[in-house]
Chain A
Amino acid sequence: MKSIKLLTTTATAAVLFAGAAQAEETMTIVSWGGAYSASQQAAYHDPYMEMNPDVKIINDESSAEAVAKLRAMDEAGNVTWDVVDVVASDAIRLCDEGLAMEIDPDEHLAPAPDGTPASEDFGDLLVSDCFIPQIVYSTTFGYRTDVAAWNGNEPSSVCDVFDLEAFPGKRSLEKRPINNVEWALICDGVDPGEVYDVLGTDEGVDRALAKLDTIKDDVIWWSAGAETPQRLADGEVVIGSTYNGRLFSVIEEQDQPVKMLWDWQVFDLDGWIIPAGLSEERKARALDYVYFATDTQRLADQAKYISYGPARQSSAPLVGQHAELGIDMAPHMPTDPENAKTTLLYNYEFWADNRDDIDAKWQAWLAQ
């Protein structure tokens, strides 16, 4: 602990400036950057600053390393972030580590316009005591429509990803076990309802990896969400997984010959956390912002700019048209009934317990 104190003192000087800046009513909001941050700017930040002219929002694009950075800030004893956009699994981790403050949805969040309390409006999506859901996104597949070797066929099932004979070509998959092993098991004949029971055993993991082995030589792995869309656009791969919003932008905004394959898309959540240990003043402001930014209308507004589904049930009917393209956004939402015939929801508890273990096997498998 002494060593941590040492770190604390050394880092204090470095963050003094940040501390000074806080006095001028600035609020640092951390998010993912790119189109996603832009949608938040338009739907949340701009209207909020209009309503509160004395608050200035500073954007930080560190969400990818948010957990590690928050832990480091916490150890240094000076947290400079006010509101942080993270995926649900990270929120759970931050909550476990005591790095995020607990939120009482009915006390801190706006009820739906019809008076339904927030806890009901968000429902099951409140996966952690610290997590304020914002959007539902999914990890799913996109494929090129102009592959000559497919003889005019198009993949219709996630298992076509594993079918090299009917659909030859390079695949782009995420360089982590999550999602990939679930799909592998489903396509290996495991009942989708029992996927996590199977995965909980060593044999189940081996079975998933064995299935993935059949396409391993044709897989290019990705670690950043932008990689698959780029590879699809370049023709470097013929099919690949990524976030559905990224594919929307390739298909609708960039007009590439790419189509969505929604089969067994994996829902995941993204939302806000407020770091633990903020001063009362900063905490109040952060809560005020979050109350505003997660109300029914605001969540529906964000869908004008990006094709992610709002986390409130009450927002769904309010989703309208894309702000620039003018197309209806509802059919592009992962939650649209037409798209959500077969879905998985990211199993937070399972992965919190088993991620380290399966990841070790996964890495060993990759390195073979």
Chain B
Amino acid sequence: MTDTTANGAAGSQPDSGPMLAADGTPLKVSLARALRRQKLRALMLIAPLLLFIVITFLAPIGDMLFRSVENNIVPETLPRTVVALEQWDPESGEAPGEAVFEALQADLLIAAEKKIHTRLGSRLNYETPGISSLFRKSGRRVDDMEQGPYKPQFLKIDEDWGDVEIWRTIKRYSGAYTAGYFLASVDMEYGADGPQLKPEDERIYLTLLWRTILLSTVITVSCILLGYPVAFLLANLPLRTSNVLMILVLLPFWTSLLVRTSSWIVLLQQQGVINDTLVTLGLVGDGGRLELMHNEVGTIVAMTHILLPFMILPLYSVMKTISPSYVRAAKSLGANDWTAFWRIYFPNTVPGIGAGAVLVFILAIGYYITPELVGGTSGIFISNRIAYHISSSLNWGLAAALGVVLLALILVFYWLYDRIVGVDNVKFGG
């Protein structure tokens, strides 16, 4: 055996164990070693991009998503209270006893010193209104409290401290993690017997989610209907003409989104260009001007226009690769123009439609500026709520949860798409 290895007769004895390289190491190890250098070099080439993506994209997104369940602020700000509350049963119908208030006083004293009690107040106010001012008020006075008992002193500051609902909220959100944001993002809340749907007049996100899907679908379909002929024209005209047309298609890309949306306002509003024209032509009366914006129509029209290039470009690049001889062959075989198109040309453009549809749908589902400006109340998307919670209400946890729901939704659609059309059939170009 040693003899064979020394001779370097690799592979001469295929039955006697793994293949060996000339120096006696297994061939697989040897090969891996030889390839490692190559892999390392390849990795080094993409390392800057990889690092860039991880740092600027994956890490912040991961951090944001983490906020949808993170609830450290409560146990960190009120460590003693949280522990003391474990003994309290909300079903007793009475506010906790002195032990909890003593812990609260100790926690609040430190929190007020660090000025983080108001922050906790805002956090808990998302769950039960009134806690924000309760903490603000109490934090200011906790300094002046006398030696216990503390419960009466707290009740003196605000009688809400005796409210079971307030304590129930604090207890419920005393863990480092919470499902509360996710419940809220699907119009649910913690009730007496666990999660339940919110009262009907406070449900909003499921409606918005459904509307977002519906309108995005309509927009995607409109983009297909409008973009297909244009892409066909682009792919089949002589190069010089199609280049000019291509510039027209790309022109909107070079205009600011706000400008484009504002132009739609000028066109669509009741005193706008379209209505004025219709009135001048006598097609509608001055009193019966059409409502073309501040509703879903406005959103669909403006967003279809804005997203159209994202449909045309993949369609165009797929159509460009379809040899004209397919249609010619079909015609020579006896198919008329329509049959040749529908049975031969169209099926070959499906990958382009797929790519464009995925692109447009995903972009549409996340849009919020355009719906905000032209959508009124019936044409706004779930992203508008996310933006609101990010920039106005500062409820980033809920915003993150809504973002996760949206992301999950897109993944579900992607999966559905894969099942129905097949992701391998998506082509962005030749």
Please give the residue numbers on chain A whose beta carbons come within 8 Å of chain B beta carbons, in ascending order.
1, 3-4, 6-7, 10, 64-65, 67-68, 71, 93, 95-98, 170, 175, 206, 220-221, 223, 231, 234-236, 349, 352-357, 359-361, 363-367
Contacts and interface: CB of A to CB of B under 8 A. Distances in A.
B63 A4 contact: yes
A32 to B, nearest CB: 14
Contacts of A7: 59-60, 63
Contact of B394 (A3, A67, A170, A231): A67
A93 B62 CA distance: 26
A365 B56 CA distance: 38
A235 B202 CA distance: 34
B208 A367 contact: yes
Given A7-B63, A221-B376, A355 B393 contact: yes
Contact of A220 (B55, B200, B211, B294): B294
Interface string B352-392: 00000000000000000000100011100000010000111
Contact of A67 (B136, B198, B391): B391
Nearest to A352: B132
A170 B270 contact: yes
B185 interface: no
Contact of A10 (B59, B118, B385): B59
Given A96-B119, A354-B129, A221 B294 contact: yes
Contacts of B62: 3
Contacts, number: 99
Nearest to B211: A367
B125 A95 contact: no
B116 interface: yes
B409 to A, nearest CB: 18
B115 interface: yes
Given A68-B391, A96-B119, A363-B204, A10 B56 contact: yes
A357 B56 contact: no
A93 B202 CA distance: 24
A221 B372 CA distance: 10
A3 B395 contact: no
A7 B271 CA distance: 48
B130 interface: yes
Nearest to A357: B129
B280 interface: no
Nearest to B131: A353
Which of A3, A356, A365 has the largest number of chain B CB atoms within 10 A?
A356
Interface string B50-81: 00000110011011001000001000000000
B interface, over-half SS = helix
A322 to B, nearest CB: 29
B294 A364 contact: no
B204 A97 contact: no
A97 B119 contact: yes
A356 B55 contact: no
B132 A364 contact: no
Contacts of B180: none
8 contacts: A10-B55, A96-B122, A98-B115, A175-B377, A357-B129, A360-B204, A363-B385, A367-B378
Contacts of B377: 175, 221, 366-367
Given A10-B59, A97-B122, A220-B294, 4 more contacts: A6-B59, A7-B63, A98-B116, A364-B200
B126 interface: yes
A349 B204 CA distance: 25
B130 A353 contact: yes
Contact of B136 (A65, A96, A361): A96
Contact of B132 (A67, A96, A206, A367): A96
A234 B269 contact: yes
Which of B116, B129, B207 has the largest number of chain A CB atoms within 10 A?
B129
A3 B63 contact: yes
A356 B204 contact: no
A81 B55 CA distance: 24
Contact of A236 (B55, B271, B385): B271
Contact of A234 (B118, B125, B271): B271
A10 B60 contact: yes
B63 A236 contact: no
A349 B183 CA distance: 27
A10 B61 CA distance: 13
A359 B395 CA distance: 12
B331 interface: no
B133 interface: yes
Contacts of A206: 201
Contacts of B131: 353
Interface in B106-135: 115-116, 118-119, 121-122, 125-126, 129-133
B202 A364 contact: yes
Contacts of A95: 118
A356 B207 CA distance: 18
A109 B288 CA distance: 58
Given A221-B294, A354-B129, A356-B393, A93 B63 contact: no
A364 B59 contact: no
A170 B56 CA distance: 46
Contacts of B198: 360
Contact of B118 (A98, A349, A353): A98
A6 B126 CA distance: 26
A71 B123 CA distance: 14
Interface string B135-155: 010000000000000000000
Given A10-B60, A353-B133, A365 B122 contact: no
A356 B126 contact: yes
B125 A353 contact: yes
Contacts of A96: 118-119, 121-122, 132, 136
Given A10-B59, A96-B132, A365 B201 contact: yes
B320 interface: no
A342 B297 CA distance: 40
B203 interface: yes
Contacts of B119: 96-98
B60 A353 contact: no
B129 A353 contact: yes
Contacts of A3: 62-63, 66
Contacts of A234: 269, 271-272
A361 B202 contact: yes
B294 A65 contact: no
A277 to B, nearest CB: 12
Contacts of A71: 394
Given A65-B391, A98-B118, A367 B294 contact: no
Nearest to A209: B201
